[in-house]
Amino acid sequence: MFTVESYVVAVLMCVITMLCWGSWANTQKLASKEWKFQLFYWDYCIGILLTTLLLAFTLGSVGEQGRPFMEDVRQADAQYLQSAFVGGVIFNFANILLVVAIDIAGMSVAFPVGIGLALALGVIDNYRNQPDTYTMELLFAGVACVAAAIVVNALAYRRLSTDKKATALGVIISVVCGVSMGFFYGRVAAAISGDMVNPEAGKLTPYTALVLFSLGLLLSNFLFNWVAMKWTVSGEKVNAIDYFTKGNPRLHLVGILGGCIWGIGMSFSMIAGDAAGYAISYGLGQGATLVAAFWGVFIWREFKSAPEGTNTYLAAMFVFYIIGLGLIIGANKEVFGGAAT
């Protein structure tokens, strides 16, 4: 199977993750005027599963290193299959909340608050599993900068919205999303062998873990998205039959494309995790917040009606995020050295 041993290559793959994770929501924005987000989300989940299956039977099944996908599935312990599957379930619960928050508050709010909080919690969670790999002071200073960016963004959104109830609802849903999403990545990473060239018996290669993650995501969607369809935050409830009667090939392809974009990002993050360290792989990938905020602020112009002075808040948010991500990347002691924790 294809493996990554270079830290530089791993970081570059994580940058691609960041771009993918920060850009997939554009497909939801493109479809939102014609297509309820609950219906979009079915195609999004299908796109993720198709992406991970394609990678599993190609990159995950060629070469002399590691274990081919089907062989890996046959030898896997149930506890690790379950861990990756549960990671998909946790992610799905959080991501549906993110989609709802985007629908209410826009990308430039839902991502910085929800994903920013998930970044902070996820980095801490992954640090607990690999504490000797990182300089604690740098890692947690980076998390603090990200937390500051979240606060500044929430203040900017408060200046924008005249509907205080919508403001509160958008932020609250984003916070619940972030708390939930902060813990999905560690469940998937825990199922993956620490040595990808000679994987541990019973544990999974990244490619197998990604397929189980995607299955957890899709199957749990029959519960979580069904609830979202019946109890909508705004507007009328959505019927399952609408997926077949109100859609068209273009709308379905847009949703699948969104899932493929996110799935590529997740796959690259997991494949690069061994060389970069999962705390950094996850933390850098969640720099998607910057990418999504850029799309929301400059392309979709979600703050165009904000009062004078709001740009100062947005600029501060970008600065805090950039500094925070730089500190998180530099926290890898095996690459950059640094003081002992």
Q: Position of tokens 């703050």?
A: 303
Distance (Å, whole) CA 192 – CA 63: 19
In a domain, 155, yes or no: yes
Residue 230 burial (CB count, 10 A): 12
Distance (Å, whole) CA 187 – CA 324: 24
In a domain, 24, yes or no: yes
- List pLDDT tens digits, range 30-78: 888 788 889 999 999 999 999 999 999 999 999 888 899 999 999 999 9
The token duo for 129 is: 């599993």
Please answer whether residues 177 and 101 qualify as being in contact, where contact means their C-beta atoms are separated by less than 8 angstroms: yes
Q: Position of tokens 């409830």?
A: 237
Tell me which of 182 and 93 has the higher pLDDT. 93
- List pLDDT tens digits, range 153-167: 778 877 776 666 766
In a domain, 21, yes or no: yes
State the average pLDDT for the chain.
87
Please answer whether residues 113 and 175 qualify as being in contact, where contact means their C-beta atoms are separated by less than 8 angstroms: yes
In a domain, 166, yes or no: yes
In a domain, 192, yes or no: no
Please answer whether residues 120 and 147 qualify as being in contact, where contact means their C-beta atoms are separated by less than 8 angstroms: yes
Among 89, 88, 116, 127, residue whose Cα is nearest residue 22: 116
In a domain, 73, yes or no: no
Domain encompassing residue 29: 7-40+94-182+227-335
The domain total for the chain is: 1
In a domain, 278, yes or no: yes
Single-letter amino acid code for the residue at 28: Q
Q: What's the mean pLDDT in 284-301?
A: 81
**Share of residues in the chain with pLDDT > 70 (%):** 95
What is the CB-side half-sphere exposure of residue 50 using CA atoms within 13 A? 14
* pTM of the complete model beyond 0.85: no
Please answer whether residues 224 and 213 qualify as being in contact, where contact means their C-beta atoms are separated by less than 8 angstroms: no
Residue 223 burial (CB count, 10 A): 12
Residue 108 burial (CB count, 10 A): 28
Asked if residue 341 has pLDDT above 70, the reply is no
In a domain, 28, yes or no: yes
Backbone φ, ψ for residue 303 (5° rounding): -110, 20
Asked if residue 229 has pLDDT above 50, the reply is yes
DSSP state, 303? Answer: T
